[in-house]
């Protein structure tokens, strides 16, 4: 497991020989603290996170392998092995969790072939890059790419005609489409507000607002807005002759309603980080390019964008981890309906949990953990390391 | 009005003698964040304190998380709450582990409660498990069909007696303008949103097709084998009805919960709706309603054919198959959710338990509850026999005489029905209903499943949970809730 | 063609040409409308009577409908006591937990960028092994205090010899990734264990429980964001201070931190917004005294359906302080992240 940060800082702990002169207790304690400064900085955080997370982690892991039942005098936890997981992957929850597989169309095949070809190209580039190739690296990449191709195959299969995406596929849709839109919008807005325009500070503050509202509040607000009957878009809807049509009762309409809410809420996060990144780019680069007569488009494509890659990678990773847990919007806006069309993994887990099936709920949460950990790690490894080069 | 004030004073005086022993006792009662339900509890607790000296702190939790939070609290022995005001539907999950106090003796010794005045269904089924009383009803919940008297009259239609009538009415008035805004309105509005109230609505429909031999017959499982009654011709008919109503509903009906359908109905946009007693009181409130005195209520429509449990087929109603039929129609009013009730935490101090019980008894007594059930904001619906006889009370509250007679008549007819359908109360009923049933019905409505697939999915899902929790345990719990003796 | 081209020709580097400016304003205006309209709708809804909300869309107060302050009076007068306590709780919890998270997380981030850590794999595995063993032992009936003492003792005894034998270790990046991975598990999965944890400590329904939890939940994000800022601060200043004999703490406190203030302000805002708005953990860790505002908002969805009018008021009064904060801190944010983003 390698994470993505940059190479370590270069300051080493203070030289021990310097600090061994004095004898008094106070100074000795002081020098001990100086020598162990690294640990003093890191340990509090490390211990707080460890203590508050390891217990829930283990308890949920155990719950996911067990079944809870109320009996005379209290409750009883029975160990059932992997049964909760089997139920999701093979048993009665399979159609709910994974979805229903449809028939591959020509387009699905094309997308899959292009995707696999891209992965193959990435592997080829790695092999040709010459430096730092190791057998482990090659095997690791082959395994990762196979799993990614399999994931793509799964997504296409549930999305093709006759298929139906399960909560896993729906979560992927939210994560990838949602983050894609958020990133592009955030980048666009950031570019617009870095121009020397009158009133840009007003726009900057306004654009930050959606992030400030409690997610539950946003969800209810969007429920008001998307109501085709008494919501504000009702007249427009009627004008278009759609009075008899409701978007929240069609699967993709409902998914888009949720993604619009999500995009509305989280574009500001992308926006503010990218804005700051653009503002921070060294002025000289632009001036040189401008003098050379480069067009705005050329400046953006050849100077701004490459400089933004590292920060983009980090911000997308942070958003991805949060987006995998999307729950408030689908819960309030559609309650996962129509059918199971908008149910995310966390919502699936939440529904199960609310009906007191703690084992089943923990199993779903752990599937989510495995999937997002895999996506997060491969993303960090494959993209972030490249971005740092 | 005067009569009631005198009554109130009288009752207070009696209470004062009865309960003066709670000086200094303090208790915490949890319910969901109001104003409904919490409002009357909060409003009346100072009066109760003045009478008995016991201080009741009412704390609230958002409705959707009430069940989980109380259960977590008692199961971990935290016991932050001494009394719960919740749905009796949940009580088995609390009774089996021993979290609820048995109130049988207290009820028997409490003459002020006028227990016999509480409608028989609530006495014998709703508050009872295995013959013991665990909850004190504060609210009467069951579903009815509401209709627009003016719209039906204009079209020369009668209130629906069967589900076929319901569909015919919905179909013939759908698209008419019912609130005078020049826009077409809807024949029927039913809350069909997933994970909201949809599964109670479908149960209201299937009840009449499946249960005909009285409450103890049960409408969910076969009481001998615990086989789910969801994969047969009767259930299919109910699904047909449910699907047919969608054609005459608002376009986004699949995304409406009862809050939305109530809004639509009281703003005059629907001719028919299935709901609890709430529309009756909401419709007379001028701040929420444009249909004052244009609303009629009727017992849930029935069916002329019912399930033969041996063959799984539908058979016509006769004296044997439908002993409780009215004009050849088998009605099965559904006590969905069961009505907010008070229960006492078994782990509380003895004196605190007594005080909490006394408070629930106080809330339940006619002097208090007969006033509360007529106020829309309390969320309390009538559950006492005497509450149907106090016509003036309802007229004071804003109903016209006809509307009050009509509303109370529908409630009385439902409550007196010996064929009332009891909501599912076996352990982990939330998994049966909220997870398996609700998901399958929602998928059926959204077109993800066919009728046959949906029925099979519910059947398999229910069987799986029963197997997981133990067939014998579940069966005996099911029989206990229905009062079936072995 | 020529005049049009000129319209888009920019004369200076940052000053956009008139054509670009017009297009920019149009696009900015569209997005500002998209952002502001839902907020406007909240304001309008808060001024409506229930019947006006239910009957259909009305847009303009005084023109479309007669505004009423009933929802505002209800929240501010009728149930003021139930509103003001959660409001104060939210403010205390959000500010205290964010400041603490910033303090601990900031120093951890500093550590991760300035020192090299080599946690031994062997030590981690020993720790995990002992943890599992002691859980098994507790399940088999061993007293948990005894198990804890024994486990700690064995761990300390084994630590030295094992670390000497097995040299493989992890690095700073692994620690950082481990921290962020603690945010992956959805709150549903952790809420019951955390509830039990605080119940055993007798801290349920206290602000302390919420503060500690939010701090722990926010630490990973603080570490990740602050790492970027510290990395972009030139090392020369710190090195010269060290040559002058300043302790690492003094260097951190009086040289690095002041330089990172803008970044800290930005991070503070992110973290504060999270603690301000969190729902599920607050629901379980508080019953009456420690309730926070998001609970109050969610509670407006009752058996009669959402009470849009009250909900709108609550959402609005909830965002006002954060908006003010955003306006005050906006200049810091852009400059703050600016520093961090130079290297990404």
Same-domain pairing of A36 and A106: no
Segments in chain A forming alpha helices (H): 25-35, 37-64, 83-89, 94-97, 106-128, 135-159, 167-194, 200-212, 215-226, 234-239, 251-279, 283-291, 296-299, 305-323, 328-333, 345-354, 358-379, 385-388
Residue B343, both tokens: 């229960």
* CATH number reported for the structural domain that contains residue A188 in this entry: 1.10.3720.10
Residue C168 — pLDDT band, cuts 50, 70, 90?
A: confident
Cβ contact B294:B407 at 8 Å: no
Provide the 8-state DSSP code for A232: T
Q: Do A45 and C219 touch (CB under 8 A)?
A: yes
Residue C60 falls inside a structural domain: no
A283 and A329 together in one domain: yes
Mean pLDDT for A346-365 is: 90
Nearest alpha-carbon partner for C176 in A312, A136, A9 = A9
C210 vs C88: CA distance, rounded Å: 14
Answer yes or no: is pLDDT of C9 > 80: no
Together in a domain, A219 and A337: yes
Q: What is the pLDDT of residue B8?
A: 54
| C316 plus C248 within the same structural domain | yes
**C114 contact residues in A (CB cutoff 8 A):** 9, 11, 38, 41
Q: Is the ipTM of this complex over 0.95?
A: no
Nearest to B194 among A72, A245, A337 (CB): A337
Residues of C in contact with B81 (CB under 8 A): 287
Q: Is C264 an 8 Å CB contact of chain A?
A: no
pLDDT of C14: 63
Structural contact between residues B408 and B382, judged by C-beta atoms closer than 8 angstroms: yes
CB atoms within 10 A of CB B143: 25
Dig out the tokens for A147 from the structure.
Answer: 């799993």
Residue A235 lies in a domain: yes
Asked if residue A97 is part of any domain, the answer here is no
In a domain, A13, yes or no: no
What secondary structure, in 3-state letters, does B211-278 show?
CCCCHHHCCCECCCCCCECCCCHHHHHHHHHHHHHHHCCCCCHHHCCHHHHHHHHHCCCEEEEEECCH
Say yes or no: A156 and A171 in one domain: no
Nearest CA in chain A to B440: A339
- Are C317 and C180 contained in the same domain? yes
Domain ranges of chain B: 2-141+337-408, 144-336+411-422
Total domains present in chain C? 3
Whether residue A142 is found in the same domain as residue A217? no
User: Does A119 share its domain with A219?
Assistant: no
CB pairs under 8 A between B and C: 86
Percent pLDDT > 90 in chain C is: 21
Size of interface A-B (CB pairs under 8 A): 118
Indicate whether C49 and C87 sit together in one domain.
Answer: no
Average pLDDT, stretch A155-167? 88
Average pLDDT over residues C141-151: 79
Is there a single domain that holds both residue C149 and residue C290? Answer: no
Domain membership flag for residue A81: no
Query: What pLDDT digit, counting tens, does each position of C208-253 carry?
Result: 999 999 999 899 888 888 887 787 777 887 888 888 888 888 888 8
pLDDT digits (tens, 9 = 90+) for B446-458: 988 999 999 999 9
pLDDT number for residue C16: 74
Are A203 and A273 contained in the same domain?
yes
Q: Indicate if C158 and C264 belong to the same structural domain.
A: no
Range of the domain at A151: 102-162
For residue A352, which residues of chain B lie inside 8 Å, CB to CB?
435
pLDDT at res. B11: 56
- Using a CB–CB cutoff of 8 Å, tell me whether C240 touches chain A: no
User: Residue C5: pLDDT above 80?
Assistant: no
Same domain for C303 and C206:
yes
The CATH topology of domain B2-141+337-408 is D-Maltodextrin-Binding Protein; domain 2 (3.40.190)
- Of the partner residues C173, C189, C337, the one whose CB lies closest to the CB of residue A362: C189
Q: Which chains touch C (3 or more CB pairs under 8 A)?
A: A, B
Query: Is the domain of A122 the same as that of A56?
Result: no
- Both A226 and A287 in one domain: the answer is yes
**Does C62 reside within a domain?**
no
Decide if C283 and B30 are in contact by the 8 Å CB cutoff: no
- Other residues' Cβ atoms within 10 Å of the Cβ of residue B464: 16
Distance from CA of C271 to the nearest CA of B (A): 25
Residue with tokens 């406190």: C253
The interface residues of chain A toward chain C in range 158-187, judged by CB-CB distance below 8 A, are 185
On whether both C274 and C146 belong to a single domain, the answer is no
Same domain, C103 and C232: yes
Please tell me whether residues C228 and C246 are part of one structural domain: yes
Question: Are A158 and A194 within one domain?
Answer: no
* Single residue among A142, A162, A182 that ends a domain in this structure: A162
pLDDT digits (tens, 9 = 90+) for B155-171: 999 999 999 999 999 99
Amino acid C12: pLDDT: 58
B314, B233 contact by CB (below 8 A): yes
Question: Are the CB atoms for B115 and B366 separated by under 8 Å?
Answer: no
Average confidence score pLDDT of chain B: 88
Quick check: A22 pLDDT over 70? no
C190 touches chain A (CB under 8 A): yes
The percent of residues in chain B predicted with pLDDT above 70, rounded, is 95
Angstrom distance (rounded) from CA A281 to CA C337? 11
What is the reported pLDDT for A130?
67
Query: Domain check: are C284 and C301 in the same one?
Result: yes
Average pLDDT over residues C63-77: 87
Determine the distance in angstroms separating the CA of C56 from the nearest CA of chain A, rounded to an integer.
4
Phi-psi region of A369 (alpha: psi -120 to 50; beta: other; left: phi over 0): alpha
Domain containing C303: what range?
Answer: 80-118+171-341
Could you tell me how far CA B110 lies from the centroid of its own chain? 25
Report if residue A77 sits inside a domain. no
Residues A136 and A238 in one domain: no
Interface of A with B in 248-287 (CB under 8 A): 248-249, 251, 254
> In the predicted model, what is the mean pLDDT of residues A80-108?
88
Residues belonging to chain C with any Cβ–Cβ distance to chain B shorter than 8 Å: 49-51, 53-56, 192, 195-196, 199, 204-205, 283-284, 287-288, 295-296, 298-306
- Report whether pLDDT(B143) > 60: yes
A358 assigned to some structural domain: yes
Using a CB-CB cut-off of 8 Å, the residues of chain B touching A243 are 251
Q: Tens of pLDDT along B8-19?
A: 555 555 554 454
Torsion of CA A244, A248, A249, A254, to 10 degrees: 140
Span B176-212, pLDDT tens digits? 999 888 888 999 999 998 888 899 999 999 999 999 9
Structure confidence at residue B421 as a pLDDT band (50, 70, 90): very high
Q: What is the pLDDT of residue B10?
A: 53
Q: Which of A261, A93, A96 minimizes the C-alpha distance to A169?
A: A96
- Which tokens hold the place of B59? 């704390």
- Closest residue in chain A to residue C222, using alpha carbons only: A45
List the single residue in B34, B60, B259 with the smallest CB-CB distance to C305.
Answer: B259
Q: Which of B294, B14, B23, B286 is nearest to B152 (CA)?
A: B294
Give CATH for domain B144-336+411-422. Answer: 3.40.190.10
Q: Which two tokens stand for residue A375?
A: 């996506």
Chain A residues touching residue B252 (CB < 8 angstroms):
227-229, 246, 248-249
With 0-12 / 13-18 / 19 or more C-beta atoms within 10 angstroms meaning exposed / middle / buried, residue A21 is exposed
Task: Determine contact: A246 vs chain B, CB below 8 A.
Answer: yes
Residues of C in Cβ contact (< 8 Å) with B30: 287
Is A353 in the same domain as A223?
Answer: yes
When CB atoms are compared, the residue of B194, B269, B431 closest to A355 is B431
Query: Cβ of B282 and C195 within 8 Å?
Result: no
**C273: which DSSP letter?**
H
Domain count within chain A: 3
């Amino acid at each position: 497991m390698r994470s993505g940060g940059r190479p370590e800082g270069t300051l080493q702990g203070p030289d021990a020989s310097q600090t061994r002169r004095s004898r008094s207790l106070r100074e000795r304690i002081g020098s001990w603290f100086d020598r162990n400064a690294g640990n003093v900085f890191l340990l509090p955080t490390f211990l707080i996170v460890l203590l508050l997370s390891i217990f829930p982690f283990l308890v949920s892991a155990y719950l996911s392998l067990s079944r809870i039942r109320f009996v005379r005098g209290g409750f009883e936890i029975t160990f059932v092995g992997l049964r909760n997981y089997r139920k999701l992957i093979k048993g009665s929850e399979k159609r709910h969790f994974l979805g229903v597989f449809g028939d591959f169309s020509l387009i699905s095949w094309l997308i899959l072939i292009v995707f696999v070809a891209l992965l193959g190209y990435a592997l080829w580039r790695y092999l040709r890059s010459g430096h730092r190739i190791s057998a482990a690296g090659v095997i690791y990449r082959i395994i990762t790419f196979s799993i990614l191709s399999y994931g793509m195959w799964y997504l296409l299969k549930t999305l093709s005609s006759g298929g139906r995406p399960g909560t896993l596929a729906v979560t992927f849709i939210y994560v990838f489409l949602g983050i894609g839109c958020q990133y592009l919008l955030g980048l666009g807005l950031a570019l617009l507000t870095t121009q020397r325009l009158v009133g840009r500070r007003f726009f900057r503050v306004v654009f930050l607002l959606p992030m400030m509202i409690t997610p539950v509040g946003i969800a209810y607000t969007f429920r008001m807005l998307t109501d085709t009957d008494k919501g504000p878009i009702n007249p427009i809807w009627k004008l278009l002759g759609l009075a008899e049509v409701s978007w929240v009762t069609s699967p993709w309409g409902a998914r888009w309603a949720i993604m619009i809410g999500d995009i509305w809420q989280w574009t500001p996060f992308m926006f503010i980080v990218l804005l700051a990144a653009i503002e921070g780019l060294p002025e000289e680069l632009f001036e040189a390019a401008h003098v050379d007569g480069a067009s705005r488009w050329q400046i953006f494509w050849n100077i701004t964008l490459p400089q933004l890659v590292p920060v983009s990678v980090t911000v997308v990773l942070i958003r991805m981890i949060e987006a995998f847990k999307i729950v408030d919007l689908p819960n309030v806006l559609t309650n996962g309906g129509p059918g199971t069309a908008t149910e995310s993994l966390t919502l699936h887990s939440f529904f199960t949990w609310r009906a007191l099936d703690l084992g089943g709920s923990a199993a779903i949460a752990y599937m989510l953990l495995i999937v997002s950990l895999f996506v997060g790690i491969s993303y960090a490894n494959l993209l972030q390391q490249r971005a740092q080069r | 009005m005067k009569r009631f004030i005198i009554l109130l004073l009288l009752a207070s005086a009696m209470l004062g003698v009865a309960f003066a022993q709670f000086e200094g006792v303090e208790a915490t009662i949890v319910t969901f964040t109001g104003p409904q339900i919490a409002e009357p509890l909060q409003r009346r607790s100072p009066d109760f304190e003045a009478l008995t000296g016991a201080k009741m702190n009412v704390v609230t939790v958002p409705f959707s998380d009430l069940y989980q939070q109380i259960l977590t609290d008692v199961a971990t022995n935290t016991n932050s709450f001494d009394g719960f005001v919740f749905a009796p539907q949940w009580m088995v999950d609390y009774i089996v582990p021993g979290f609820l106090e048995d109130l049988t003796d207290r009820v028997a010794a409490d003459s002020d409660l006028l227990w016999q005045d509480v409608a028989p269904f609530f006495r014998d089924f709703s508050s009872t498990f295995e013959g013991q009383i665990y909850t004190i009803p504060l609210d009467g919940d069951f579903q009815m069909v509401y209709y627009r008297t003016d719209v039906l009259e204009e079209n020369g239609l009668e209130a629906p007696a069967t589900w076929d009538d319901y569909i015919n009415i919905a179909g013939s008035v759908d698209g008419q303008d019912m609130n005078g805004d020049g826009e077409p309105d809807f024949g029927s509005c039913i809350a069909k949103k997933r994970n909201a109230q949809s599964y109670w609505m479908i149960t209201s429909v299937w009840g009449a097709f499946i249960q005909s031999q009285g409450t103890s017959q049960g409408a969910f499982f076969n009481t001998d084998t615990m086989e789910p009654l969801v994969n047969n011709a009767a259930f299919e008919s109910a699904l047909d009805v449910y699907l047919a109503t969608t054609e005459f509903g608002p376009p986004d009906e699949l995304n409406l919960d009862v809050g939305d359908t109530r809004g639509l109905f009281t703003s005059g946009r629907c001719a028919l709706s299935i709901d609890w007693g709430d529309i009756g009181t909401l419709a007379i409130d001028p701040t929420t309603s444009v249909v004052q005195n244009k609303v009629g209520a009727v017992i849930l429509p029935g069916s002329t054919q019912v399930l033969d449990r041996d063959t799984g087929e539908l058979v016509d109603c006769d004296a044997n198959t439908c002993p409780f039929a009215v004009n050849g129609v088998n009605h099965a009013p559904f006590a969905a959710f069961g009505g907010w009730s008070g229960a006492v935490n078994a782990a509380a101090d003895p004196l605190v338990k007594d005080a909490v019980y006394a408070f629930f008894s106080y809330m339940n007594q006619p002097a208090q509850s007969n006033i509360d059930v007529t106020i829309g904001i309390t969320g309390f619906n009538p559950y006492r026999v005497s509450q149907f006889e106090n016509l003036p009370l309802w007229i004071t509250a804003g109903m016209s005489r006809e509307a009050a007679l009509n509303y109370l008549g529908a409630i009385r007819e439902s409550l007196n029905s010996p064929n009332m359908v009891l909501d599912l109360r076996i352990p982990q009923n939330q998994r049966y209903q909220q997870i398996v049933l609700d998901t399958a019905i929602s998928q059926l409505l959204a077109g993800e499943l066919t009728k046959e697939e949906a029925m099979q999915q519910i059947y398999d899902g229910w069987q799986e949970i029963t197997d997981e929790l133990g067939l014998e345990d579940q069966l005996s719990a099911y029989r206990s809730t229905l009062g079936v003796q072995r | 063609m020529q005049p049009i081209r000129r319209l888009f020709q920019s004369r200076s580097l940052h000053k956009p040409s008139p054509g670009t400016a017009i297009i920019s304003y149009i696009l900015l205006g569209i997005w500002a409308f998209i952002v502001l309209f839902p907020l406007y709708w909240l304001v309008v809804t808060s001024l409506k009577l229930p019947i006006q909300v239910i009957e259909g869309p009305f847009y303009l107060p005084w023109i479309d409908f007669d505004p009423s302050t009933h929802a505002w009076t209800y929240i501010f007068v009728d149930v003021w006591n139930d509103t003001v306590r959660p409001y104060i709780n939210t403010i205390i919890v959000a500010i205290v937990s964010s400041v603490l998270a910033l303090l601990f997380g900031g120093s951890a981030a500093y550590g991760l960028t300035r020192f090299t850590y080599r946690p031994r794999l062997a030590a981690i595995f020993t720790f995990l092994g002992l943890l599992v063993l002691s859980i098994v032992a507790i399940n088999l009936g061993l007293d948990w205090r005894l198990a804890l003492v024994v486990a700690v003792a064995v761990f300390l005894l084994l630590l030295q010899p094992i670390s000497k034998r097995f040299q493989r270790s992890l690095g700073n990046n692994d620690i950082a990734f481990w921290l962020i991975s603690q945010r992956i598990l959805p709150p549903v999965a952790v809420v019951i264990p955390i509830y039990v944890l605080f119940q055993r400590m007798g801290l349920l329904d206290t602000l302390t429980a919420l503060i500690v939890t939010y701090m722990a939940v926010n630490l990973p994000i603080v570490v990740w964001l602050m790492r970027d800022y510290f990395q972009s601060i030139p090392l020369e200043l710190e090195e010269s201070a060290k040559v002058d004999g300043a302790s690492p703490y003094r260097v951190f406190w009086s040289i690095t931190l002041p330089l990172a203030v803008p970044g800290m302000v930005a991070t503070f805002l992110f973290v504060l917004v999270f603690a301000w708005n969190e729902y599920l953990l607050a629901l379980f860790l508080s019953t009456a005294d420690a309730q926070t505002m998001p609970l109050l908002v969610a509670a407006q969805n009752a058996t009669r359906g959402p009470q849009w009018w009250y909900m709108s008021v609550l959402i609005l009064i909830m965002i006002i302080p954060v908006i003010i904060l955003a306006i005050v801190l906006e200049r810091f944010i852009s400059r703050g992240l600016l520093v961090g983003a130079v290297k990404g």
